Structure 1
Amino acid sequence: MKKFLILISILSPVLGIAQKKPVFPKTFDLVVGAYTSGSSKGIAVYRFYTETGRLAYLNQIDNVSNPSYLTVSKNNKFVYAVNENDQGEVSSFSFEPKTGKLTFINKVSTLGGSPCYVSVDKNQKNLFVANYSGGNIAVLPLNEDGSIGAAVQTIKDGGHGPNKERQEKAHVHTAVLSPDEKYVLYTDLGTDKINITKYKGGKNNPIVPANPAFVSVTPGYGPRHLAFSNDKKTMYLITEMGSSVIVFDYNNGKPKQRQDITLLPDGFKGQTGAADIHISPNGRFLYASNRGDANDISVFSINQENGELTFIERRPSGGKGPRNFIIDPTGKFLIVAHQNSDNITVWRLDETSGKIMQVVNRVEVGNPVCLQFAPAM
């Protein structure tokens, strides 16, 4: 019997045993965060159809100040959104996936100005917020009813970078949990560092500096967003000012730089502002957005052995200011939020080559800057 099981294990990739593609629902909710200085008034929810790429408006909640980044809880019951303003706040909402209805629960201080990123652990114990102008990361506990408690910890970064206009002090941009949730990593555009903390939970000081406590990148690059490979062995950083992707070997909270690859074509002279980075569900391709005069999405193939990137193509994003984008869970579509042209575009992807094919849908939304998927139950 044991020999038979070993033989099945060896032959399963050939026979197709345990190699079935995951079954996805036909619809998801697309939750859209936006700046409310223009025509948007809050958070909108659209139904996304995975067979066609169609978006259909469901619902929205108004009177939410600058929900520029948001996240959906693991149990799909709550949405948390930063309020990117000078005083710094984060709001919680109950969420009904069937209708897309959001109901305000509460709002608390993030103890830092201009919060621009929020994440939540899988057990829904804590929120992690990056305060851009405050230059710090804040940890806020969550209650069972989805409400947010007062911040229990902040860590403020010090220092500056070579760009006197944009790196005069710390500017924390993300607060990302490692795949195993043993670490919280936060990028600092102002000091050109990825800071690394251990996440130990508990009510007092849930995060503590790791050893090493940070890794530095090329001065003036301005670290922005992070993504991890599907096998969790590689970490990718997009640099806003450097307009590049830096590849790190990742092992238990210890990143080691392997590669630095540009997003720009040879001879490019215009303004840039690299923004977002995501990996395809099949783990074979990486996508990165660039704003300014570029307004494009770069596509790279991922070496499955060492995580290194090879450039495939660069495509116009379909609007101005592609601050944020997302790949649908089926891997068939890439959806881009354009802050400066008030629209969201849905692109079909070639799952074999990774290339961006054609626009299949476009909706008008005021100043969209964050997209998150939630199963439509």
Structure 2
Amino acid sequence: MSEDALVLVGNDKGGTVSTLRVSDDALEVVATTEVGVGCSTFAVDGDLVYVAVKEPAPAVVTMRLDRTSGALTEVARRHVPDPLGYVAIVGGATLLVASYHGGWAASYPVADGVIGEPASRVEYRNAHAAVADPTGQNAYVVSLGSDVIGQYSIGMDSELVELSEPVVHVTPGVGPRHLVVAPDGRNAYVITEFTGEAIRFDRSEGGRLERREEVPVHDATRGLRTSALGLDPKAGHLIWGADIALAADGRWLLCTERSESTVAAVELDGEGRLSDKVVFTDTEAQPRGLTVGPDGTTVIVVGEVSGHASLYRLADNGTMVLSDRVETGKGPNWVRFV
């Protein structure tokens, strides 16, 4: 990257958030902040960071980032009924959350970092993500357990309002996990946990999703088998899809698979459609999270088992070239540029 950038890594089992500086082709840990065990997901809004924790009680902790030192300081805390697997901030005014074990998703109004009472709560089996489109018009709740994506508009008071088609279905048993919407809002992409596929959806002006093509994002040469809810992917050498991200230029979709510890780069055409060109890179052990820098070629992957973050350069042909690697903490599984 042309200038230094900061990256945050949530170390789930260690209960810390690490602040990393990316400088040219080097990674450096500049600060480590104690937050709470289970800090497995967070969302960033300028210098405010909304971190979900499990201990001492499930909550979303609002932290303020000091960009000079890299330290985080708590400014507010909102307790929630169950641990969260996903949080997203929408326009600084609405917080979306999903609770996998609680089986629900919710929206909260936010003012100056303080999270208010919930505006909406919706029930979904094994809700794994709650994501907004880039304009903050729509919200999508991904239900791994029910193989559906809930579709909503976001109201003025942060409430979730069902669209005329409340849910869009995927193939039963694939286990949709995480979702990302393209910057232009025309396409949305989902990674499945049990079958290791990327699925593309057309997105209408009103926000409705319509399923289109899909492509495998697990390496078929590694002998992995289809998984299912309740199975142990490590014991059975099963497909274990995890995270998904778009390169800024819209040419590549990146997806992680944890059993064989790979990142798949799927080439997209000029309309954002998935192609059959998929390039695999071996990466950190059990790569739960990844992020792509604003330049579109800087990629950071964190490994739950390895306890490290790796810095890559995404080449024009889809290969990822390792530049640097640092230890972050115990169980890192979430990473974002700030």
**TM score, norm. by length of structure 2:** 0.90
Higher strand fraction: Structure 1 or Structure 2? 2
Amino acid at match of 2:209: P
Q: How many residues align?
A: 323
Tell me: CA distance 1:84–1:195, structure 2 relative to 1, closer, same or farther (3 Å).
farther
Q: Match for residue 17 of structure 2? A: 43
Contact 2:217 2:278 in 1 (8 A): no
What secondary structure, in the 3-state scheme, does the structure 2 residue paired with 1:173 have? strand
Q: 1:189 aligns with which of 144, 147, 165?
A: 144
Amino acid at match of 1:133: H
Q: 2:180 aligns with which of 219, 227, 230?
A: 227
CA shift, 1:25, in A, is 5.7
Q: Match for residue 214 of structure 1? A: 167
Q: Distance in 2 between the 1:43 and 1:114 partners? A: 17
Contact 2:301 2:310 in 1 (8 A): yes
1:243 is the counterpart of 2:215: no
Q: Distance in 2 between the 1:126 and 1:280 partners? A: 25
CA shift, 1:55, in A, is 1.3
- Deviation per CA, 1:322-348, whole angstroms, max 9, x where unpaired? 000011221232110100111111122
1:315 is the counterpart of 2:269: no
Tell me: CA distance 1:296–1:25, structure 2 relative to 1, closer, same or farther (3 Å).
same
Q: Distance in 1 between the 2:333 and 2:4 partners? A: 22
Larger of the two Rg values belongs to structure = 1
- Deviation per CA, 1:15-65, whole angstroms, max 9, x where unpaired? xxxxxxxxx7601111111213xxx2311111111x22x111211221423
Q: 1:295 aligns with which of 231, 240, 261?
A: 261
Matches within 5 A, 1:116-127: 116-122=85-91, 124-127=92-95
CA shift, 1:101, in A, is 1.7
Q: Distance in 1 between the 2:143 and 2:58 partners? A: 17
Contact 2:36 2:56 in 1 (8 A): no
Tell me: CA distance 1:303–1:110, structure 2 relative to 1, closer, same or farther (3 Å).
same
Matches within 5 A, 1:134-173: 134-144=102-112, 146-157=113-124, 170-173=125-128
1:83 is the counterpart of 2:53: yes
Amino acid at match of 2:104: N
1:371 is the counterpart of 2:325: no
Contact 2:93 2:111 in 1 (8 A): yes
Amino acid at match of 2:300: I
Q: Match for residue 230 of structure 2? A: none
Q: 2:5 aligns with which of 28, 34, 40?
A: 28
- Deviation per CA, 1:95-137, whole angstroms, max 9, x where unpaired? 11122121112222223x2201111112x11211111111111
Amino acid at match of 2:304: Q
CA shift, 1:72, in A, is 0.9
Amino acid at match of 1:189: L
Contact 2:109 2:157 in 1 (8 A): no
Q: Match for residue 248 of structure 2? A: 281
- Deviation per CA, 1:161-198, whole angstroms, max 9, x where unpaired? xxxxxxxxx00011100122111001000100011111
Extract unaligned runs of 5+ from structure 2.
Answer: 225-236
Q: Distance in 2 between the 1:149 and 1:229 partners? A: 29
What secondary structure, in the 3-state scheme, does the structure 2 residue paired with 1:184 have? strand
CA shift, 1:153, in A, is 2.4
Q: Match for residue 253 of structure 1? A: 207
Amino acid at match of 1:305: E
Contact 1:110 1:131 in 2 (8 A): no
Q: Distance in 1 between the 2:84 and 2:275 partners? A: 31
Amino acid at match of 2:280: R
Q: Match for residue 36 of structure 2? A: 64
Amino acid at match of 2:95: L
Tell me: CA distance 1:99–1:178, structure 2 relative to 1, closer, same or farther (3 Å).
same
Extract unaligned runs of 5+ from structure 1.
Answer: 1-23, 158-169
Q: Distance in 2 between the 1:135 and 1:29 partners? A: 33
Q: Distance in 2 between the 1:119 and 1:306 partners? A: 23
CA shift, 1:228, in A, is 2.1
Q: 1:101 aligns with which of 68, 71, 80?
A: 71
- Deviation per CA, 1:67-119, whole angstroms, max 9, x where unpaired? 1011111xx121101114696321111111122121112222223x2201111
Q: Matched residues, percent identical?
A: 24
Q: Match for residue 340 of structure 1? A: 305
Q: Distance in 1 between the 2:209 and 2:15 partners? A: 40
Contact 1:88 1:131 in 2 (8 A): no
Matches within 5 A, 1:350-369: 350=315, 352-357=316-321, 359-365=322-328, 366-369=330-333
Which has the larger displacement, 170-179 or 25-34?
Answer: 25-34
Q: Distance in 2 between the 1:63 and 1:97 partners? A: 17
What secondary structure, in the 3-state scheme, does the structure 2 residue paired with 1:340 have? coil
